[in-house]
Amino acid sequence: MSNQIIGTDVDRAVEILRNGGLVGLPTETVYGLAADASQKQAVTKIFAVKGRPNNHPLIVHVESVDAARQWSSLWPQSAEILGTTFWPGPLSVVVKKAPDVLVEVTGGHQSVAIRVPGHVIALELLSRFSGGLAAPSANRFGKVSPTTAQHVFDDLGTSVDYILDGGPCAVGLESTIVDCCGDIPVVLRPGGITTEDIQKIVALGDDDLGMSRAPGMLPAHYAPQCQVTLFQELSEAMRASETFDAATLRVIDASTNPLVFASSMYSQLRQCDIDGVKHLLVVLPDANGIGLAIRDRLTKAAHDPKNQSH
């Protein structure tokens, strides 16, 4: 069955989307569960398939900066600078929504998150589709994000009408989200575009309201089935490992090469569940560059009453 659903037929994907269906969308960040952002019933399907609360906003994917402007009632200079600098790429901007943007897409907010994905197949699809695609990660709500077409099928099966296979995701972490609604932009979620890179071109403020305005902001998210415990040093993790059954234990050091680790992080979390790992001990990278995004995702993956952070 998966062979019939997974493929590279962009024309088929376009037809499904225009008819209100769902398509697994490859991007450089993670695979998205895409629907026509202008069709209310199609967008509603996303929430039903994912089991996602309907007050969680979705990111609209478009083919260009010009297309992005059409989704906003007030396109700020900060969004223009960020878009022209980092798009196509793993960055989303939150701006005031245009009047005709569905509230189902925005989670009831008066703002909308937009990005231009940096993946050749995604851009080809968006060009042929000639519209915006609402596309959160193509997995069950709160679980590990998918970074291959097979991950999407494993999670959602035939609930998705078609899955475009674009290979493994190059970045492997969800996009950075920057709120551009105010006078000073604010990073709501760290991601593939680092805070340091953003600060080179725009001044940033502090976030105190991000929870309500962006996806992926819950304290518990991106969670595998195994228990995740976080450490600052490898020596600490190794000492702790002595208290667990070696047959169901795994230790991962994310601090040695964070950029490489980021691209495989979700695959490694999924593999732990496949292999029957019960306790995963992870050494965190430093809180700068891509390390900040890795720490964000792993902290949420470990946010469970049974999990501890060291």
Cα(26)–Cα(166) distance, rounded to whole angstroms? 5
- Has residue 305 got a pLDDT over 60? no
Determine the average pLDDT of the residues in 171-199: 96
pLDDT value at position 1?
46
CB distance 27 to 40 below 8 Å: no
- Full set of structural domains in the chain with CATH: 2-212 (3.90.870.10), 227-301 (no CATH)
Label the pairing between strands 59-61 and 23-25. Answer: unpaired
Residue-averaged pLDDT of the chain:
92
**Residues 63, 138, 229, 189, CA torsion sign:** positive
pLDDT value at position 206?
81
Residue of 219, 220, 169, 216 whose CA lies nearest to 190: 216
CA 146 to chain centre: 9
- Has residue 58 got a pLDDT over 80? yes
pTM: 0.92
Listed in sequence order, the residues at least 6 apart from 127 whose beta carbon sits closer than 8 Å to its beta carbon are 63
Residue of 94, 81, 59, 98 whose CA lies nearest to 210: 94
Cα(101)–Cα(121) distance, rounded to whole angstroms? 25
Q: What's the DSSP call for residue 145?
A: P
Question: For 229-277, how does the pLDDT look when each residue is reduced to its tens digit (9 = 90+)?
Answer: 999 999 999 999 999 999 999 999 999 999 999 999 999 999 999 999 9
- Counted residue by residue, the chain has a size of 310
How large is the greatest C-alpha to C-alpha distance in the chain, in angstroms? Answer: 58
The secondary structure of 36-64 as a DSSP string is ETT-HHHHHHHHHHHT--TTS--EEE-SS
Question: 88: cis peptide before it, omega within 30°?
Answer: yes
Question: For 1-45, how does the pLDDT look when each residue is reduced to its tens digit (9 = 90+)?
Answer: 455 899 999 999 999 999 999 999 999 999 999 999 999 999 999
